[in-house]
Structures are given as C-alpha cells and as structure tokens.
Amino acid sequence: MINKNDFHIIYQNLPFSNLDVEDYLFDIFQKVKENLNKRTNNDLKVEYEDNIILEYILQEFVFSSLDGNNFSRSLIYEKSYIDQFISVVTDKFFFNELNPYHAISLVSKYSPVISNLELHLNFILNRLNLMKKDKNSKDTLLDMISKVFLMFKSIIYLITSGAETEAFATWRTIHELECVIKIIFEHPEVIPTYLQHIVYNNAFRDDFEDKDLQQSLIDDLKNKMKEKNYKSKDMKKYIEYGWLYAIKDVDKIENFKLNFRNGLEVVAGLDSYSYDYEMSSEVAHSSPLLIYSNKQFYKSITIVRMYESFFRLEKIFFELLKNSNVDYASYEKMRNLYLEFSKKILNREISLLQNLITKRKDNN
C-alpha cells in the first residue's frame, strides 16, 4: 500500500515535480480509493494495485492538465474538474482492472506453447537492441528483423486473448516481411535498390516538400519501368516489387510477376504457404471467415505457422548476431537449451492441426 512517504519519493522523480501539486495528487489518490471501496462494498477480497491506480492518476493529470504544456493551476482546483478527475480514474480502474472483459481463450500465456516462445523472443529482442546500439548507422535488415520479432509478441497477445483469427491475420504480415528479410539476407546486394524503392514510394505518395526533386524521382521511376516494359498503370506494383529485379536473372523464374504470390513469395522460396496466405487474407479483409470461424482450427494453424516462421527467422538472427560485435555466448547457451524443446512443441502442434484437418474432411 502506498503511503504519504512512498508517494513523496515517487513524486520527486516525476517530470512535473516542480509544479508543487504533490498534496493535490495524493488527495486525488485517496479519494479514488474511497470511491473504489464504496463500489466494491468494502469487499476485503478485492485487492487494489496502488501503483496502477497511481499510474492512471498521473497519466490522466498529464493528459488533461499539461496538454500543450499549458498548465492552469486555477483549473485543477475547480470542484467540477476535481470531481470529474476522481470519477474518470475510478471508472477506468474499476472497469479496466477489476472488471475487464475476457474473451474465451484456448491457450494460456503460461502454457509452454506460449511461454517458451515468449522467453526466446524477449532474449532475441534484447540482443537486437544491443546490436542496433552498436551500429553507427541505420541497418535495414536489423530494423526489419526487430519489427518482425516484435510482431510475434503481437500474435501471442492476440491468441492468448481469444482473438485467434486476428492472430492469424497478423501471421500474414509476418509472412510478407519474412519473405523480404529472407531475400535481403540471401541477396544483400539488393538493399540499395530496396531503399531506393522506399524513396520512390514517398514520391508517389506526394510526401516531398521539394516538388522538383519529387518529380525527378517520378521521372526516374518511369524510365526504370520503361526499361522493363511496364506502363504508368503498373507504377504501384513496380514500386512495391520492382526492387526484385536487382537479383540476377530473377525475371527468368518461371511465371515470374511483380506481385506477392508470383514474385516475392516465389523468390523467397516460401510459396508453399500461398494457400494459408490467401486464407489469412480473407480473414484480414473481414470475410465471413472472420466472424464465423472455428476457433480451435485458427488457434492451431496460427501456432504452427508462427513457430515455422520463427525458426527460419531465428536462424537468420543468429547468423547476424554471430557476425556482430555483441557477445553471443549467452544467447547460444539459451538457444541450445530451448530450441529443441520448441521444435518438439511444433511437432506436437502439427499433429494436432493435422487431426483437426482430417476431422473437417470427414465431416464434409
């Protein structure tokens, strides 16, 4: 329980401690607790996290009182303001912390299926932070791989919150980014062209203040397209996938096209996932699959595809780590300890998914 002395220590470290509102905020804190006691009928079984109540109060104060750095001392002492302040914080804590809505989840965050992967992700993301700090300049591949591992944490949050279809739709984005990462890792020579296409995209979206420079970029883009026999109507797809031409003889691949399925996915060697990618696209675009879905099936397919993508991306990460200036011995030790267990989890989940698919076929 936070007392006056505890609060004083916390207050001294706040960025607005010079405003002399310590007693004011502590009084708000006490009144919020009184309100919560009334709402719960002083039920001793209900435990309050004082630090969370305090966090709500501080964030609310910063948002409503310090917005735009225009602090009004007279405003915060108005009775209507104080009453609303106390009411808002009480409501938010009561409904967000004591009575949140929880959808039915088919997998717990404490299950080894989830906790094992999350442990690995946290270790990787911390190492990536060190690797990025060690770099003197921006590293495209490190930025991409940091983003993709962060997205795995998004899937974990969604799937343990009972949002299986949303988790599967997030895997779709991971799959897209994995294709780009795999290609750039295997063909680092394409990075300048890839970055140039990001610049083209900014010009296409009219993001440049210098309109002459923007037009010269568009003209350059059109000339590049003309060399490959593309028309103006193809500009968007050329911007998105045209960087693939930086790979030698890429256009000799059978049925190669500037799109995801016949271009990016094929070049990455991950086109075996095209059916699942299409299914996840239907979910992402609010088809009936999103609303009337088999939770068990989408839970299983998401976990399997998530783990498969993770193993491939982890292998790339480990190579980058070994070639960096960051010590990798502790990561390698952890990797040796948990990776095999993760593979056993994947094999188990594949069997569960195959059983579900068999049952669906039998029922049809």
Q: Binning pLDDT at 50, 70 and 90, where does residue 47 land?
A: confident
Q: What is the pLDDT of residues 28-40, one digit of tens each?
A: 999 999 999 999 8
State the average pLDDT for the chain.
92
| pLDDT over 70 (residue 67) | no
Residue 12 lies in a domain: yes
Q: Binning pLDDT at 50, 70 and 90, where does residue 156 land?
A: very high
pLDDT of residue 9: 92
d(CA 318, CA 337): 15
**How much of the chain exceeds pLDDT 90, in percent?**
79
| Count of CA atoms in the C-beta half-sphere (13 A) of 333 | 4
Same structural domain for residues 76 and 116? no
Q: Binning pLDDT at 50, 70 and 90, where does residue 234 land?
A: very high
Residue 173 lies in a domain: yes
**How much of the chain exceeds pLDDT 70, in percent?**
95
CB-CB contact of 145 with 135 (8 Å): no
Same structural domain for residues 136 and 166? yes
Same structural domain for residues 79 and 170? no
Same structural domain for residues 142 and 262? yes
Same structural domain for residues 269 and 349? yes
Reading the block at residue 141, the tokens are 């591949």
Residue 324 lies in a domain: yes
Residue 106 lies in a domain: no
| pLDDT over 70 (residue 320) | yes
| Structural domain ending residue among the three candidates 67, 98, 129 | 98
Look at phi and psi of residue 67 and say left if phi exceeds 0, alpha if psi is from -120 to 50, else beta: beta
Distances (CA, A) of 354 to 17, 322, 347, 348, 350: 59, 36, 11, 10, 6
Q: Binning pLDDT at 50, 70 and 90, where does residue 66 land?
A: low
Residue written as token pair 């994995």: 178
| pLDDT over 70 (residue 271) | yes
Q: Among 286, 305, 278, which residue's Cα sits nearest to residue 178? A: 305
Q: Binning pLDDT at 50, 70 and 90, where does residue 115 land?
A: very high
Among 71-80, 95-104, 255-264, 332-341, which stretch is predicted with the lowest mean pLDDT? 71-80
Same structural domain for residues 157 and 287? yes
Residue 165 lies in a domain: yes
Q: What is the pLDDT of residues 181-210, one digit of tens each?
A: 999 999 999 999 999 999 999 999 999 999
Same structural domain for residues 86 and 126? no
Q: Among 349, 358, 363, which residue's Cα sits nearest to residue 106? A: 349
| pLDDT over 90 (residue 315) | yes
- Mean pLDDT to the nearest integer, 218-235: 95
Among 56-65, 93-102, 134-143, 351-360, which stretch is predicted with the lowest mean pLDDT? 134-143
- Mean pLDDT to the nearest integer, 142-167: 96
Residue 216 lies in a domain: no
| Structural domain ending residue among the three candidates 42, 65, 98 | 98
Same structural domain for residues 123 and 260? yes
Expressed as residue numbers, the domain containing 92 is 4-98
Number of domains in the chain: 2
| Structural domain ending residue among the three candidates 71, 98, 125 | 98
Same structural domain for residues 280 and 170? yes
Same structural domain for residues 121 and 79? no
pLDDT of residue 137: 63
Q: Binning pLDDT at 50, 70 and 90, where does residue 111 land?
A: very high
Residue 50 lies in a domain: yes
Same structural domain for residues 61 and 129? no
pLDDT of residue 133: 86
H helices present in the chain, as ranges = 4-12, 22-39, 50-65, 73-76, 79-93, 112-134, 140-160, 164-186, 191-204, 211-227, 235-241, 265-267, 274-284, 288-291, 295-322, 329-363
Q: Binning pLDDT at 50, 70 and 90, where does residue 227 land?
A: very high
Residue 27 lies in a domain: yes
Same structural domain for residues 253 and 172? yes
Among 14-23, 191-200, 237-246, which stretch is predicted with the lowest mean pLDDT? 14-23
- Mean pLDDT to the nearest integer, 144-167: 97
